[in-house]
Chains A and B, each alone.
Chain A
Amino acid sequence: MRLTAENIAAKRGEDLLFADISFVLASGEALVLTGRNGTGKSTLLRVLAGLLRPEKGNVSWFSQDAEAGARACEACHYLGHRNAMKAELTVAENLSFWKSFFSDFLGGTGSSVSDAAEAVGLQEIIHLPFGYLSAGQQRRMAFAKLLVAYRPVWLLDEPTAALDSGAEVIITGLIGNHLAHGGIVIAATHQPLGLTNARELRMTGFAGVGEGVW
């Protein structure tokens, strides 16, 4: 399994945020994106998730049993700033909807809804509407969404925002576990995630205005 990014450049409005970003991540490897606010960490993650068209370059996914022509984003879980959970539905309803909607990617199976909630330490409150939860609990439940269906690549945007230190340990443990099982993690973060052997990509921001990259 391999996630390859080649010469990616992306714009935000007219400003070129970054250019010529290339990396190859194999099974079990992690990449941590660091840098000040506004240097393009979230933008890079959205490009990798296929939600933003890059100005130049491409992202591709390779594995032995992958179907030809599959988009790289189909192999990815994306945890953005927003939790993608409905405040009106209970946590269990939210998670079981996403479990059925995601359906497992080739080469693994997701855990059940109650197991996923237990993994983030909140199994006793899955009957509550998502809107009743605190910001930290909501974030943990949004993370549990990554566990209900298998995806080899996790794209995490500030996964530990709003979390207390105990929950941070749980989340970093889950990320470590995913890596140990051959997954790939790309995370944008300000806090250290405690990952050994993670590579770091330091985003510096790019001050070019509109001249293009071709």
Chain B
Amino acid sequence: MINLLLRDLKLSVRAGGGALIGVLFFLTVVAVIPFGVGPDLNLLSRIGPAILWIGALLSALLGLDRLFQTDREDGSLDLMLMQEHPLALTVLVKCLAHWIATGLPLVIASPLLGLFMNMNEVAIGAVMLTLLAGTPAITFIGAVGAAVAVALPRGGLLVSILVLPLAIPVLIFGVSASYAAVEEPAPFMPPFLILVALTMFFAVLGPVGAALALKNAGD
């Protein structure tokens, strides 16, 4: 299984892997906001955490459709379905590799983009921490959508639409935890712990659901 993780990571950084597409899209979305909103620094710092979270959510959705599709196209998925080890475990490892390749760069890029939005250091730290805890959930939810749409040639947008409603709670609690860190009376821990719970919940449910969908996707 560790070899599957390494293989997927290698594939994501080699030609056509697209590991950096998500982070470039994130950069683009967040960088144009100050131009659109105008040079109101107070407004920017107030909407900053929400903009970063929305940008990260959209970027995380961007590459999801390729999660199983490349393996299906070259026949690898067939062989993965035939093996003795449970398919849900294979899916979990593929999700982890996908998150390391596309989710983790978003977390790492977020402080830089926080500066664009005139956020103070506490807010930047809070957004980084909530993204770290929340983006895996988006990958796990997305795995189900990617598995359902695996046989469709242009499933990219469909996956995003299928997945977005389920990812909304992650966005809500991620943003509210980030705001709670900077706005005094609101407590930080309750929304943050719910965010962590969401991630753990979908880490179990996502791979099982995706495995079920892949098993029944036989052409």
Which residues of A come within 8 Å of B, CB atoms? 46, 49-53, 70, 73-74, 76, 78, 80-89, 93, 96-98, 100-103
Contact = CB atoms under 8 A, between A and B. Distances in A.
Interface residues of B, number: 22
Interface in B6-44: 7, 10-11, 14-17
**9 nearest A-B pairs in the assembled complex, by CB-CB distance:** A82-B75, A84-B75, A88-B14, A100-B3, A73-B82, A84-B76, A97-B7, A74-B84, A52-B218
A88 B15 contact: yes
Interface of B: 3-4, 7, 10-11, 14-17, 73-76, 78-84, 218-219
B192 to A, nearest CB: 37
A40 to B, nearest CB: 14
B82 A86 contact: no
B75 A97 contact: no
A181 B83 CA distance: 22
A49 B11 CA distance: 27
Given A80-B75, A97-B4, 6 more contacts: A73-B82, A82-B74, A84-B75, A86-B74, A98-B79, A101-B3
B82 A51 contact: yes
Contact of A78 (B3, B7, B79): B79
B75 to A, nearest CB: 3
B75 A81 contact: yes
A175 B17 CA distance: 36
Contact of A76 (B7, B17, B82): B82
A3 to B, nearest CB: 14
- Residue of A52, A81, A82, A93 most packed against chain B (CB within 10 A): A82
B172 to A, nearest CB: 38
B10 A93 contact: yes
Given A89-B7, A89-B10, A89-B14, A49 B76 contact: no
A84 B74 contact: yes
Contacts of B76: 84-86
Nearest to B79: A84
A97 B10 CA distance: 12
B17 A51 contact: no
